[in-house]
Amino acid sequence: MKKIGVGHASVSEIEKKYVLDALENERLSQGKYVSKFEKNFANEHDLKYGVMCNSGTTALQLALATLIETEKWDHNTEVLVPAITFIATSNACIHMGLKVKFVDVDPITYNMNPRELEKNISKNTKCIIPVHTFGMPCDMESIMEIAEKYNLRVIEDCAEAHFAKVNGKKIGSFGDMAAFSTYVAHTITTGIGGIVCTDNREYMEILRSLVAHGRACTCERCVASDGNQVCPKRLQTEIDRRFMFVRLGYSYRVGEIEGALGLAQLERKDEIMKKRHENAEYLIKNLEEFEDYIQLPKHPNNVEHTYMMFPIVVKERLNASRQEFVEHLEKRNIETRPMLPLLNQPIYKELFGNIEEQYPIAKMIDEKGFYIGCHHGMDKDDLDYVIENIKDFIKSHVFY
Ligand SMILES: Cc1ncc(COP(=O)(O)O)c(C=O)c1O
């Protein structure tokens, strides 16, 4: 029996053509495809600059490292992170030597609740990382108001919501920098990968240096050297400038194959987004009669949701647990995933103690939530099969 997964990567003739071209050019490290993807992906988010890297996690780390350098943050610096997110968001802060403070989330959007922010701000708080979970944008206008009031930097974690909008404005374009993952299940995928986008030229220069060992020169010729075009400054310094390092950087680069995949996917963006949107709307339309028993994705009219996943929260009136529900679906080959549980992860219990009770909404979502797919690889038969199985379960577990 076919498995209906939570994610999907479709490879069309365009991806094959671009990857083959990269291979035929015998250019495997950074070159024209990476540069073009960086520029086009950033521009699609109304931003000027993009720096590709090898994951969404390293995108976050690079953005944080840039602010550590420019803002001269020390190890007492606190970063506000939602209590529901993929563990990479908070891990990136910990790896960069910063302190994480969690903020409870909203029970409807599952995103960082702006009303919970201020009480978590201390004199050491320097940054907010709003995470647009499951394709649903955060309330960025309220978050930016608070960031401005307290002079906090903002890194948007856009891993799960490529191209989503608030009041017509693209997510990622509200804060100082935006970190994206292009891992397989994400809307635009490069297989494995990530990208940091920004409008700030100084940040871009630092990001580009950090991603490549801390290289001094970040000009196009040094970054994507094709052997023919030589940077005019290269041999004017004691150490060849292309191999001069001015900060402690990382090796987080990707190559042309990822760039070629990304560029092809970007050309198919509208097709991918349209299908995801139609699929999610179809699921909602066919399940809304059961909204007394399950909470379906909801968004205000001023927001464009991109439905990276389809989250469901089991309500009190359903006489069944989340566990029973997911077992029912899994047995029928419908894949489910927990809704980004964070504070109850064994490693976080070790690091932070038993703090779940302080975040009642996140705790409720951990206990009652799961998600299924609504991706562009699902057709009407798949959707009808999912709907039928959800309906069957609910009908056999309601109080009358
Ligand atoms: C919200 C969020 N942030 C960060 C990441 C990390 O991305 P990656 O797996 O590419 O490191 C993910 C991955 O799915 C994510 O969902």
Q: 357: how many CB neighbours lie within 10 A of its CB?
A: 8
Residue 23 C-beta-side C-alpha neighbours within 13 Å: 7
Substitution site in 6, 53, 54, 57 for ligand 1 pocket (most atoms within 8 Å of beta carbon)? 57
**Ligand 1: residues within 6 Å at CB?**
55-57, 85-86, 88-89, 131, 157, 159-160, 181, 183, 194
- Is 88:134 a contact under the CB 8 Å cutoff? no
- 280-324: pLDDT as tens digits: 999 999 999 999 999 999 989 999 999 999 999 999 999 999 999
Mean pLDDT lowest among 80-94, 151-165, 236-250, 291-305: 236-250
Q: Which two tokens stand for residue 51?
A: 């720096």
| C-alpha distances out from residue 294 to 62, 127, 368, Å | 39, 35, 10
Cα 16 to averaged position of ligand 1 atoms, centre (Å)? 25
Query: Nearest-CA neighbor of 259 among 39, 62, 10, 12?
Result: 39
User: Could you tell me how many residues make up the chain?
Assistant: 400
pLDDT of residue 178: 98
One-letter-per-residue 3-state SS of 372-392: ECCCCCCCHHHHHHHHHHHHH
Distance CA(42)–CA(200), nearest Å, equals 12
217 alpha carbon – ligand 1 mean position (Å): 29
Ligand 1 centroid distance, CA of 86 (Å): 6
**pLDDT tens by residue, 39-65:** 999 999 999 999 999 999 999 999 999
